[in-house]
Structure 1
Amino acid sequence: MVRSEILKGYEDAANGDFIERVEAISSADLLRPVTKHIPKQPCRILDVGSGTGRDAAWLTSLAHTVVAAEPVDALRQAGMAKHPSPNILWVADALPELSHTISLGQAFDIVLLCAVWQHLNDVDRRTALSVLRSLTVDGGKVIMSIRHGAGAPTRPVFPANVENTVRWAQAVGLFAVDETKTQSVQSRNHQAGVTWSWLVLQAKSGNR
Structure 2
Amino acid sequence: MRSEILKGYEDAANGDFIARVEAISSADLLARVIEHIPKQPCRILDVGSGTGRDAAWLASLAHTVVAAEPVDALRQAGMAKHASPNVSWVKDALPDLSRTISLGQTFDIVLLSAVWQHLGDADRKVALSVLRSLTVDGGKVIMSIRHGAGAPTRPVFPANVENTVRWAQAVGLSAVDRTTSRSVQSGNRQAGVTWTWLVLQAQIGGS
TM range (shorter): over 0.9
1:114 and 2:113 matched:
yes
Distance 2:179 2:61 in 1: 23
What are the within-5 Å matches in structure 2 for residues 90-109 of structure 1? 90-109=89-108
The equivalent of 1:177 in structure 2 is 176
The equivalent of 1:131 in structure 2 is 130
The equivalent of 1:191 in structure 2 is 190
Question: One-letter code of the match for 1:193?
Answer: G
Question: CA offsets per residue over residues 121-155 of structure 1, 9 Å max, x none?
Answer: 00000000000000000000000000000000000
**SS of equivalent to 1:156:** coil
Distance 1:60 1:123 in 2: 33
Distance 2:139 2:187 in 1: 34
User: Which runs of 5 or more structure 1 residues have no equivalent in the other structure?
Assistant: none
**SS of equivalent to 1:201:** strand
Question: CA offsets per residue over residues 77-115 of structure 1, 9 Å max, x none?
Answer: 000000000110100000000000000000000000000
**SS of equivalent to 1:179:** strand
**SS of equivalent to 2:158:** coil
Q: Number of paired residues?
A: 207
1:156 and 2:155 matched:
yes
**SS of equivalent to 1:32:** coil
**SS of equivalent to 2:55:** helix
Distance 1:58 1:180 in 2: 22
Question: CA offsets per residue over residues 9-62 of structure 1, 9 Å max, x none?
Answer: 000000000000000000000000000000000000000000000000000010
**SS of equivalent to 1:170:** helix
1:87 and 2:86 matched:
yes
Q: Which runs of 4+ in 1 moved over 2 A?
A: none
The equivalent of 2:144 in structure 1 is 145
**Alpha-carbon offset, residue 207 of structure 1:** 1.3
1:51 and 2:50 matched:
yes
The equivalent of 1:19 in structure 2 is 18
Distance 1:52 1:162 in 2: 26
The equivalent of 2:3 in structure 1 is 4
Distance 2:147 2:33 in 1: 18
Quote the sequence identity (%).
85
The equivalent of 2:66 in structure 1 is 67
User: Which runs of 5 or more structure 2 residues have no equivalent in the other structure?
Assistant: none
TM-score using structure 1 length? 0.99
Question: CA offsets per residue over residues 129-182 of structure 1, 9 Å max, x none?
Answer: 000000000000000000000000000100000000000000000000000000
Distance 1:87 1:32 in 2: 22
Distance 2:61 2:88 in 1: 16
* Superposition RMSD in Å: 0.4
Distance 2:30 2:15 in 1: 25
Question: One-letter code of the match for 1:186?
Answer: Q
